[in-house]
Structure 1
Amino acid sequence: MGIRDIGVRVGHGTPGPFNSITDVQGVRVGHRTLVENRAEVSIRTGVTIIEPRAGIARFDPCFAGCHVLNGNGDATGLEWIRESGLLSTPIAYTNTHSVGVVRDALVAAEREWVGDSQYWCMPVVLETFDGVLNDIWGQHVTATHVHEAQAQARSGPVAEGSVGGGTGMICHEFKGGIGTASRKLAADDGGWCVGALVQANYGRRDALRVAGYPVGVALRNLPSPFDRRQAGVPGMGSIVVTLATDAPLLPHQCEQLARRASIGLARVGGGTEYSSGDIFVAFSVGNRGIPPADYGKAGEPVISVRSVSQDFMSALFVAAAEAVEEAILNALVAAEDMDGRGAHVAALGTARLLKALEQVGWRRGADHADHPFAD
């Protein structure tokens, strides 16, 4: 169930066949979800893996870029992306206190694949905080869970909502988690695909907007999971975003694309809380044969790559913003009620969302010209 399945249109673009980051050729996603009750301990967490290419990415890296809108969060591997412009490992999402074990598990997996023929690897691991619902101090994600998520990585439809790294996440004071969406550009704009996968764990309820409509105004008086002092404050959390495209982008263009995730986040009502870490990565599979950065290896001193003309970048920016906006909404729509650590986090729910939309002027089948906030 996604936002489109209830008749709400986000932007003007056309999704790919799966409306997922996996619409970008070669990209695969896998989850490992942990939902357990052990005596007084509630485990509501997991790990999500995004593989940029099937097989060993180290030997066929992608050009990549990253952007930090607000740095109240943590990540591994971003400095190497900034320095080299390369992504040569999977990207992982998990909770704040499990970044280390996930990173170490990805290093161990790479050594198993390539032996000692490489000097090093710097996996990209992104996090958001799930400690309202999850026993985050227990650090329940293990290397085995990471390897299981990798083994589950597939193309095709991607499970959304309370799965994988998004299991215990909260978004706009409703149950959040994993969401994905894509946009397929028209042939005149290059015909490329842009896909997004988010782990949404941010935002105040009263700021929530859906397809431009301020539904948070109609929803703001509902009970909040942050009512209890020890549960934190509204707006706390983070969002991490991965953008993938088959457009042949250079590293600085990938960074430009990553920055446009901020626009999609803003359209839903995020990006303004200091207590939120908003970290975005973008990569392109549009060039092959980029040599890995392994010092001491002999190779060609000059390589040939392709690049999208700057005149065609705007369409990619539009696609990225729309895909991120819709991915966040898909995370909200797909998530279900969850209890953990004495807290109850309600899902937004399609019936509640449709009622709130109608209260603020939305009507089914209306196009942009009929939007009361269009101008």
Structure 2
Amino acid sequence: MQTPRRVRDLGITIGTLPTGPLNAITDVPGVRVGQTTISSGDLHTGVTAIVPSSVADDLPAADGLPAAEGLPAAVAVGNGYGKLVGSTQVDELGVIETPILLTGTLSVFRVADALLTWLLDRNPRATSLNPVVGETNDGHLSDIRSRPITPAHVHAALDSASADLPAEGCVGAGTGTTALGFKAGIGTASRTVDSGTVGVLVQANFSGTLTVRGTEIPAPPLDADGNSCMIVVATDLPLDARQLGRVARRAVFAMSRVGSDYAPGSGDYAIAFTSNRGRTFAEKGLRPVFQATMESTEEALLNSLTMATTTTGFQGRTAPAVAHDVLVSRLESAGLLD
């Protein structure tokens, strides 16, 4: 058994921009993450909650939730083979007005309903809310038809959200996911640019050949259901919804850096939001933001793999963790280790 380690702890540096203090989405001011994990027998699934709050002085948030006006946001669809609840209103209005939750495919609707209950309990005057809930198919390792997620699981993830370094690998919505032939899960990373921070959290569950800094790490075939990826991008830069759409697309592009084959049945989505409603960011300043997004996404995807552990689940199926010694040896031979 190997100890889960982030890629930087293995001597692997992705990109050139500096990371935030935690190298996580929670480096973005006002962003918190909470998770609930179910891992027993035939069940390997869970909930991951990304809870943003406003940092605008004139629009303070209450209880860690966005103010009523919502936060600027956008959705990018790499391939729409998925069930992203609430995405059309985000497209239409360019805002999110609830936390973003991730889970397994057939639990997405129960999670959305539980999120609504949690929100209505905190806002007695609300008559319309647009819950945003994404998913990937964890049916290879979990009895997906049982739909085990309850309101208690959802509320626990929301209530436990913190600004600490989020757990990665086989936790929350990543408990039963696989990617690139290996056990994967939740991963996160961040980058700083001159005027702010970009942070990313991923739920990795897609096919292809693992590629690290251009070096392929082949895996035995893994006949896993579902080939999807959810990517959440947070920033404190004052971007508008159109600019956030451009950022979100770069996050989907970054999947190619780690070897995604963008399979026909892959639901690949990115949601980008900002906690800053300030003056619109200059268009010419987006280049480093794009770079920060792609580097953070690439590293978050790799962290989702190196922080995962070999898992045996539904019907005795097993998903192996990527072997750190093999990964390090191949990169060392290629002269790509720090």
- Alignment partners' CA distance in 1, 2:176 and 2:276: 34
The partner residue of 2:213 within 198, 204, 211 is 211
In the alignment, structure 2 segments of 5+ residues that lack a partner are 54-62
Cα displacement string for residues 113-170 of structure 1 (whole angstroms, at most 9, x for unaligned residues): 011x122111100000000100000000111100000111000211000000000000
How far does residue 271 in structure 1 lie from its aligned partner after superposition? 4.9
Superposed counterparts of 1:190-229, under 5 Å: 191-204=195-208, 207-213=209-215, 215-216=216-217, 219-220=218-219, 222=220, 224-226=221-223
The partner residue of 1:19 within 23, 35, 43 is 23
Could you say which residue in structure 2 is the equivalent of 1:166?
174
Q: TM-score, normalised by structure 1?
A: 0.84
How far does residue 364 in structure 1 lie from its aligned partner after superposition? 2.5
Q: Secondary structure at the match of 1:195?
A: strand
Could you say which residue in structure 2 is the equivalent of 1:66?
75
CA contact under 8 A between 2:11 and 2:337: conserved in structure 1?
yes
- Alignment partners' CA distance in 1, 2:167 and 2:266: 24
Q: Secondary structure at the match of 1:254?
A: helix
Q: Secondary structure at the match of 1:56?
A: coil
Q: Secondary structure at the match of 1:76?
A: coil
The partner residue of 1:313 within 255, 267, 286 is 286
The partner residue of 2:311 within 338, 344, 347 is 338
Could you say which residue in structure 1 is the equivalent of 2:57?
none
- Alignment partners' CA distance in 2, 1:211 and 1:88: 37
CA contact under 8 A between 1:58 and 1:89: conserved in structure 2?
no
Greater alpha carbon shift after TM alignment, 66-75 vs 262-271: 262-271
How far does residue 339 in structure 1 lie from its aligned partner after superposition? 0.2
Does residue 152 in structure 1 map to residue 160 in structure 2? yes
Q: Secondary structure at the match of 1:260?
A: helix
CA contact under 8 A between 2:26 and 2:163: conserved in structure 1?
yes
How far does residue 362 in structure 1 lie from its aligned partner after superposition? 3.4
Q: Which amino acid aligns with 1:309?
A: A
Superposed counterparts of 1:112-131, under 5 Å: 112-115=121-124, 117-131=125-139
Q: Secondary structure at the match of 1:109?
A: helix
Q: TM-score, normalised by structure 2?
A: 0.93
How far does residue 349 in structure 1 lie from its aligned partner after superposition? 2.9
Cα displacement string for residues 67-125 of structure 1 (whole angstroms, at most 9, x for unaligned residues): 1011111111111111111111000000000011100001001110011x122111100
Q: Which amino acid aligns with 2:85?
A: T
Could you say which residue in structure 2 is the equivalent of 1:352?
326
Does residue 107 in structure 1 map to residue 81 in structure 2? no
Q: Secondary structure at the match of 2:206?
A: strand
Greater alpha carbon shift after TM alignment, 139-148 vs 52-61: 52-61
- Alignment partners' CA distance in 2, 1:3 and 1:254: 27
How far does residue 322 in structure 1 lie from its aligned partner after superposition? 0.5
Could you say which residue in structure 2 is the equivalent of 1:45?
45
Provide the aligned length of Structure 1 versus Structure 2.
Answer: 324
- Alignment partners' CA distance in 2, 1:355 and 1:145: 40
How far does residue 272 in structure 1 lie from its aligned partner after superposition? 2.4
Superposed counterparts of 1:244-255, under 5 Å: 244-255=234-245
- Alignment partners' CA distance in 1, 2:32 and 2:190: 14
- Alignment partners' CA distance in 1, 2:128 and 2:180: 39
Divergent runs of 4+, >6 A: none
Could you say which residue in structure 1 is the equivalent of 2:267?
277
Identity %: 38
How far does residue 55 in structure 1 lie from its aligned partner after superposition? 1.9
